[in-house]
Amino acid sequence: MAAPSEEFSVNANEAIRIALVQPGPNHRILTRHEFHPQFTYPIVGEAEQIFGYKGLDVEIQFAAHDLRPHVNITYEKKFQTIGTTSALDLNKTLGNFLPPIAFQQGFEKELQKDATKWTPPGVCVNKYTRGGQSYEVWAGSLLDAPLRALVDNIQILIVLFIEGGQFINLDDVDWTLDRWRVYLVYHKSSEPPTPLACPYSFVGYATTYRFYKFQKTGPEREDVTPFSFPPSEEITPTKLSSRLRISQFLITPPYQQHGHGSALYQAIYDEVLADPTIVEMTVEDPSEEFDKLRDLNDFDKLEPQFKAADIKINSSPFASVERARLKAVPTATLLQVDKLQTIRAKNKIASRQFSRMVEMYLLAQIPLSHRAAGGASLTSLKVRGPRAAKEDDRNYYWWRTLLKQRIIKKNKDLLEQVPLEDRPPQIEDSARAQEDEYEGLLLSYALRREKEADRHGNGDSSHGVRKRKVVESDEDESGETSVSSKKPRT
């Protein structure tokens, strides 16, 4: 006979369901999409178990347009309290993550009201199609009360799908709220299920936050307006020089793998490029999935610019090549540093991310047969190095040398703790892992371009995005690769 703790315990990830609902025919509720959470430990504990129920079903419904939440809890049997042991109070537990309106009556009645004129809060910043269906991206500041209310409704999704995700303080001062910008992705139906139903249904969303970025003034910054006190106009966060950080990014499971993540990322990036007050875009604690999405989209943006600027490795940086050990990497001679810096500033990409895109592009310029992935001998390359007879072999040697140089610089403090004789093997392992990652990205990029050609420009495949609790952020461009539960990015 099973112990009560086992008999009345259920898996929270299986017991909890999220449903996007709309009004249906005959005053019924129509479930548009239904899915289970990826994580529930922030709500019920590390074991992700709910004690005290048999046949438990916790349905968290969201109106597909304005995302008003409602909780339905049903079960076959509830554990009777014995001493201090009792069933988990689900309403109280979920009440820490949902607004009070989620536990009020009248959800079905509100859902049936005329919503034909409802539109997402903010302004529409992009429209696109996938599979013949229309989608829109809307954006606005958290100073906007309707947008703030909508975000309050769905913040629980952050802890259910983004590992280590945290709520935004919606009661913060106006100055801080204005730093936040929210991007909403909606499907717009041409045929809503009922005449009174809203044509908009939620797909996903992202949030960004502005950090003040000090800009040096001088002869090279003659366009900067001198500061006067008191200021001649009201100062707001959106008027100050800033570094933008993507903080949260989520496409709901039913819409993953259909290019919506890329469409949302591109909408954010387009606004960054159009805003003269934003000097750089970074990402907070990106997951491996988001890293790949970001890499593919950034590479798609930068590759034609690299080609136009004729970015390439100088395979013969020295007038003469001696057999002595290389004392310093001639970066300024190997690469067109000034051109690259101009491209980076123009595209407002963080230094570490830009370096990765440059490395990925330069690797792609080397024929596959001269790369490790194509069978090239790294032992022979190490022996011949810059004295190799073929230009492609020299390019590959210098490419790996530049890669190792960046790895060493980024991990300087960590390497100082490693015995001298153990450093070369570790650096080599990191370089090979990074090269393997680039090879995989280049293959994915080629497949993506083929799909785009087949779809006649209808879009790329996207990936579900989640974060891990301890991962590297590119907020600090000079930091080391962190030790994390995901493979460190070098």
Alpha-helix runs per DSSP H in 279-348: 288-308, 331-334, 337-347
Instruction: For the beta carbon of residue 348, count every other beta carbon within 10 angstroms.
Output: 18
Residue 251, annotated as binding a ligand: yes
Residue 162 CB contacts under 8 Å (≥ 6 apart), including other chains: 248, 250, 465, 466, 467
φ and ψ at residue 376, rounded to 5 degrees: -65, 145
Instruction: For the beta carbon of residue 472, count every other beta carbon within 10 angstroms.
Output: 23
Q: At what angle do helices 351-364 and 337-347 cross, to 10 degrees?
A: 120
Residue 52, annotated as binding a ligand: no
Chain centre to alpha carbon of residue 191 = 32
Token pair listed for 379: 């032992």
Residue 155, annotated as binding a ligand: no
Token pair listed for 316: 């013969």
Residue 258, annotated as binding a ligand: yes
Residue 60, annotated as binding a ligand: no
Residue 250, annotated as binding a ligand: yes
- List the catalytic residue out of 34, 59, 108, 284: 284
φ and ψ at residue 2, rounded to 5 degrees: -70, 145
Residue 266, annotated as binding a ligand: no
Residues 61/19, Cβ–Cβ less than 8 Å: yes
Token pair listed for 274: 């159009």
- The rounded distance, in Å, linking the Cα atoms of 175 and 115 is 32
φ and ψ at residue 237, rounded to 5 degrees: -55, -30
**Residue 176 buriedness (CB in 10 A; 0-12 / 13-18 / 19+):** middle
Residue 33, annotated as binding a ligand: no
Asked if 284 is an active-site residue, the reply is: yes
Question: What is the DSSP pairing of strand 16-23 with strand 57-63?
Answer: parallel
Residues in the chain: 490
**Residue 116 buriedness (CB in 10 A; 0-12 / 13-18 / 19+):** exposed
* DSSP secondary structure string for all residues of 366-422: S-GGGSGGGT--HHHHHHHGGG-SSHHHHHHHHHHHHHHHHHHHHTHHHHTTS-GGG
Token pair listed for 266: 């591109």
Residues 166/190, Cβ–Cβ less than 8 Å: no
Residue 146 vs residues 109, 118, 151, 308, 479: alpha-carbon distances, Å? 20, 12, 9, 45, 39
Residue 287, annotated as binding a ligand: no
Instruction: For the beta carbon of residue 309, count every other beta carbon within 10 angstroms.
Output: 13
Residue 249, annotated as binding a ligand: yes
- Residue 377's identity, in one-letter code, is S
- Which of 436, 354, 365, 356 shows the shortest CA–CA distance to 396? 365
Alpha-helix runs per DSSP H in 104-179: 107-111, 145-154, 156-161, 174-177
- The rounded distance, in Å, linking the Cα atoms of 400 and 256 is 35
Annotated binding site for acetyl-CoA: 249-251, 256-262
- Residues serving a catalytic function are 284
Annotated binding site: 249-251, 256-262
